[in-house]
Amino acid sequence: MKRMRTGVITDETAAKTWLAAACPRVWELLNQRAQQKLPPGLAPPWTDHAKEWWAFADAQITALRVACGEQEVRDAYGPDLSRATTAARVMELISELSVSAALGTLPPRFRLRPSTGRGTYSDFALEFAGVPMYGEVKRYEDRWFSTPRDPARGRALVKAPPGSSAIGQADRPRSMDIVSKLRAVPRQFPEGTVNMLFVHHPSFGDSYRYVQAALFGHETALVAPEAIGVSAADGLFAADEWRRVSACYLTHIDPTHGTWFPVEWRNPRADVPLPTKVRKAVARLREPR
């Protein structure tokens, strides 16, 4: 994607003018009230990098329109974007848009925000080679490295045993935070289908280690993904409700290089394992474009 070097936009009127002209698909998702007064999550200032993200989002919306139609995209994302109260919420929506757009290139049938039949909904559903699949996207930015703190205090990579002297000398592992954030994910999937979780975890650290430790247990943080076996008792994949999740993909998203899924973790206890033909299809999206 071409980089936009036009300077910082600080004025809301200028921001709306730029967005309507440069990112018309994003602009069209906003309701009338949001177009008149941008919600807090969209309010300037916008740096050149922020504008690159808007242009990226616009391209994802265009791709999704091809996959499932303009009205379905508008219904799924228009209300949420129009009332986004924080920039973090906007980035969550862009993450969901980008993963949906990437997976939307695979099948002939693709739906946004489908009901699970359990009072919840997934982010998207698709049917590939006759296999119904549901997807959920989660974005958790790791702010530990950018937050002011005691320079003598670090963060543990693995969970310390109860009573260990290491407790109190370092912040708890990031994997423990991820466990807390992901615990309820199975509720957003139906039963008896292939269910895939996509985790976007921007961080200066090794994101795959944090997510892997959350899924398989804290002691697996230093194990190569291809060498992972069964999940330890403290891993999410060991929980009975997580049998509904077939697999998890580490997700990388960049406005220049697009969306890709470099690491795949299959749930060894899944009720519905990830089919080989699905794995091969997603494997084509393992590298940045």
- Per-residue pLDDT in tens (0 to 9) along the chain, 289 residues: 555 556 899 999 999 999 999 999 999 999 999 999 999 999 999 999 999 999 999 999 999 999 999 999 999 999 999 999 999 999 999 999 999 999 988 877 899 999 999 899 999 999 888 889 999 999 998 776 656 555 555 555 555 544 444 455 556 677 888 999 999 999 999 999 999 999 999 887 788 999 999 999 988 888 888 888 788 888 999 999 999 999 999 999 999 999 999 999 999 999 999 999 999 999 999 988 7
220, 213, 216, 208: which is closest to 249 by C-alpha?
A: 208
Tell me, what's the pLDDT at 3? 53
Cα–Cα distances (Å) from 249 to 1, 161, 183, 190, 228, in that order, read 24, 28, 16, 18, 14
Contact call for residues 203 and 140 (beta carbons, < 8 A):
no
Question: What is the greatest pairwise CA distance in the chain?
Answer: 59
Alpha helices in the chain (DSSP H): 12-22, 24-29, 32-36, 48-68, 70-82, 87-103, 174-182, 207-216, 276-283
Q: Please, what is the angle between helix 87-103 and helix 70-82, to 10°?
A: 160
CB atoms within 10 A of CB 88: 13
Contact call for residues 182 and 199 (beta carbons, < 8 A):
yes
Tell me, what's the pLDDT at 4? 54
178, 176, 179: which is closest to 141 by C-alpha?
A: 178
* pTM for this model (two decimals): 0.89
Tell me, what's the pLDDT at 164? 45
Tell me, what's the pLDDT at 222? 84
d(CA 239, CA 61): 36
User: How many Å separate Cα 56 from the centre of its chain?
Assistant: 15
Amino acid code (one letter) for 31:
N
Residues 6+ apart with CB under 8 A from 81: 26, 29, 30, 34, 39, 42, 90, 93
Tell me, what's the pLDDT at 87? 95
Q: Is the four-CA dihedral 12, 14, 19, 24 of positive or negative sign?
A: positive
Alpha helices in 217-266 (DSSP H): none
